[in-house]
Amino acid sequence: MHPVFLFPLITGLLFAIGTVFDKYILENKMQDSTSFFFLQSFLAMALYPALCILIFGLQFPSIFTLLLIMFAAILANVGFFFYFFLVKNYDLSSVGPLTQTKLLFVIPLAFIFLGEFYGLKEFGLMALIFAGAVLTTYSKQISLKALLLNNRLLMLALFMSLSWALADLPVKAIVTEIGSPSFMTWRYILTLPVIAIFAIFLFKGTARKAFVQNFHRTIPYAFIASLIGFVGMMLLFSAYEFSYTIPSALVLSQAAFVFALAFIISRIKSSIVAEKEALKVYAVRLIGVLLIISSIYFLITGNMVF
């Protein structure tokens, strides 16, 4: 199989495995999403720039581009803060697919700020993505009214996706100047002051206590999760050398992989992923996953998955 197809599929699987690692850690090792957010941030700041510079070297951006990277770093970390909270507190088979709803915000933001618009079909597909997002949050404990009008999981997930979509706004301009690996390097370097500011408000009390108490038993698993994420990103960057559209579409397989892994592992070893939903619930969530993936895939390639 050509790397343009193989690499993003492997990336989707690696990102899904990384999400399962996050869930396992938050359930069994460092059972506080805020403290784990800081641990993963510290690891990424230490690991990713060193590996990127070693493998790809480093290009130096202009002052304006540095400001854009700082903007991206702030919003990306806001999104990751909510991501870890959701992974800790909700079913992985719901949260995993919801990480793909970023495109709901990318489309209007790209139109408003970048002047990019590809036709009215975008609005219909955005509606399908939103419908799929609603379905992935379904459980037997939630009523239809709550599913539509009082859905805390959906609202938090959409806020996470909005943060990531805003963080992506300047990426095209940044990577045009310095390339993707250097962008990733600088983003994690500039994450240091961002995390320092976050720590003033968030790294105290329960979060600090959980970090100190669970650091040693968590760090090996967190390190593996970080390495998995790095390998996935590098494979994706390699695929982008052949095409941008095809890898961007195929990496959406992450949503399906997370859903499948959560379903299978929860039934084989619930200590890793603890989900006890009925098959009917998973059937509804699967419909949501397919709606999200197929709609995004069509927006990128012009072809439906099914």
Q: How confident is the model over 33-50, as pLDDT tens digits?
A: 999 999 999 999 999 999
The CA angle 194-63-239, to the nearest 5 degrees, is 75
Q: Bigger pLDDT: 186 or 151?
A: 186
Least confident of 5-19, 89-103, 209-223, 292-306: 292-306
What was the pLDDT predicted at 301?
66
pLDDT at 212: 92
Q: What is the pLDDT of residue 195?
A: 93
| Cβ neighbours for 19, distance < 8 A, ≥ 6 positions apart | 87, 92, 95, 96, 99, 254, 258
Average pLDDT of the chain? 86
Model pTM score: 0.89
**With bands split at pLDDT 50, 70 and 90, how would you rate the model's confidence at 185?**
very high
- Quick: pLDDT tens for 252-271: 788 889 989 988 988 887 77
Helix, strand and coil percent figures for the chain, each rounded to 5: 80, 0, 20
Q: What is the pLDDT of residue 302?
A: 61
Q: 304: pLDDT confidence band, cut at 50, 70 and 90?
A: very low
Distance between CA atoms of residues 171 and 183, nearest Å: 8
Nearest to 252 by CA among 295, 293, 207: 293
Q: Which residues have CB under 8 Å from 289's CB, separation 6+? A: 97, 132, 136, 255, 256, 259
Neighbours of 54 (CB within 10 A): 9
What is the pLDDT, as a whole number, of residue 200? 92
pLDDT tens digits along 99-117: 888 878 877 887 788 777 6
Report CA torsion sign: 45, 229, 17, 101: positive
Question: Please, are residues 38 and 211 in contact by the beta-carbon 8 Å criterion?
Answer: yes
User: Helix crossing, 103-114 with 152-168: angle to 10°?
Assistant: 40
Highest mean pLDDT among 108-122, 181-195, 286-300: 181-195
Average pLDDT over residues 122-139: 87
CA distance 14 to 36: 20
Residue 51, token pair as written in the block: 């590996």
Report angle CA 218, 35, 99 to the nearest 5 degrees: 90
pLDDT of residue 306 exceeding 50: no
Give the span between the Cα atoms of 126 and 133, in whole angstroms: 10
Pick from 34, 31, 36, 79: which is nearest to 225 by CA? 36
Contact indicator for 256, 289 with CB cutoff of 8 Å? yes
Q: Where are the domains positioned within the chain? A: 3-301
Q: 9 or 145: whose pLDDT is higher?
A: 9
Confidence at 18, pLDDT banded by 50, 70, 90: very high
Grade residue 84 by pLDDT with cuts at 50, 70 and 90: very high
Cβ contacts of 48 within 8 Å, gap of 6 or more? 184, 185, 188, 226, 230
pLDDT tens figures, 205-260: 999 999 999 999 999 999 999 999 889 888 887 777 676 566 766 777 888 899 89
